[in-house]
Structure 1
Amino acid sequence: MRCIHLFATAAAIAAFSGLAQAGEAAQANASWKNGIHRTDLVKQDIRVHGHEVIQARVDIDPGVASPRHSHPGEEVAYVISGTFEYQLAGREPVILKAGESLFIPDGVPHVAKNIGNEPASELATYTVRKGEEPLLKLEQ
């Protein structure tokens, strides 16, 4: 009887652990959706045929990371305030503070995370193929 009780207890702990992990994943997903605020500033055709420039201010709450994503063109990220960690596929993570910038090549999956204790902001400038959607393609 004692073995059955231990087995039932272990099964209950495993079930609650699975629920906790699912809850953490859902919370992380909700966190980036609620913790990243994008303000589009400019969208304009450029002289390079079939391309446009898009500029946006991206504000990220403390501890929040973007999902792993890529863009259909190049991005230049300029840190306005705070401290970001950028993780580009195939490279070591880079930490940037206000006044520093980073070039992100076409199609390279990456993550941007606010590693500071206050909201952080970047100015993201994209030179992308016009009309190619989505601008932000989620990666696995």
Structure 2
Amino acid sequence: MNPRILITAILAVGVLSLQAAQAQQEIQRTDLLQKDITVSGKEVVQARVDFNLGAASISHKHPGEEVAFVLEGALEYQLEGQAPVILKAGQSLFIPSGVAHLARNVGEGKASELATYIVSKGATLVEPVE
């Protein structure tokens, strides 16, 4: 094999690996609580989600309701079939079960939310939507 092609291929793989690692670090989710509730078959899940400057989630949905509370910064939420809404620290948003949505940091620095879900027990929490 041509050494020049081999070196180019190795560099390309390295760049793609670095880009994938950086994309994963743009949004960090920290699970805080997962507990059964008195409603049969349901549980509460709570997580802190930190968004680096300009980071956006993929479009996704949940197997239950979500309440998103912005802890810091400014986040734009786009819910399927609705106009985008921008929330700042101290504001919250209700996201109905099964509604596709995404969140994007539109502030000037880091943004964070406290996400609280009431979901079907044992279901996959985040389902990507194409």
- What TM bracket, shorter-length normalisation? 0.7 to 0.9
The equivalent residue for 1:67 is 58
Structure with higher Rg: it is 1
Deviations 1:73-130 (A, max 9, x none): 0000000000000000000000000000000000100010001121101000000000
Percent identity, aligned pairs only, is: 58
What CA distance in whole angstroms lies between the structure 1 residues aligned with 2:54 and 2:73?
11
What residue ranges of structure 1 are gaps of 5+ in the alignment?
1-22
1:89 aligns with 2:80: yes
The equivalent residue for 1:137 is 127
What CA distance in whole angstroms lies between the structure 1 residues aligned with 2:22 and 2:79?
21
Structure that is richer in helix per residue:
1
The equivalent residue for 2:119 is 128
The equivalent residue for 2:93 is 102
Normalization by structure 1: what TM-score?
Answer: 0.77
1:31-42 to 2 correspondence within 5 Å? 32-42=23-33
What one-letter code is carried by the residue in structure 2 that aligns with 1:71?
H
Deviations 1:41-61 (A, max 9, x none): 110000000000000000000
Per the alignment, do residues 86 and 31 of structure 1 end up closer, same or farther by CA in structure 2, a change over 3 Å counting? farther
The number of residue pairs the alignment matches comes to 115
What CA distance in whole angstroms lies between the structure 2 residues aligned with 1:113 and 1:30?
19
- Contact 1:65–1:113 (CA<8 Å) still a contact in 2? yes
Shift of 1:33: 2.0
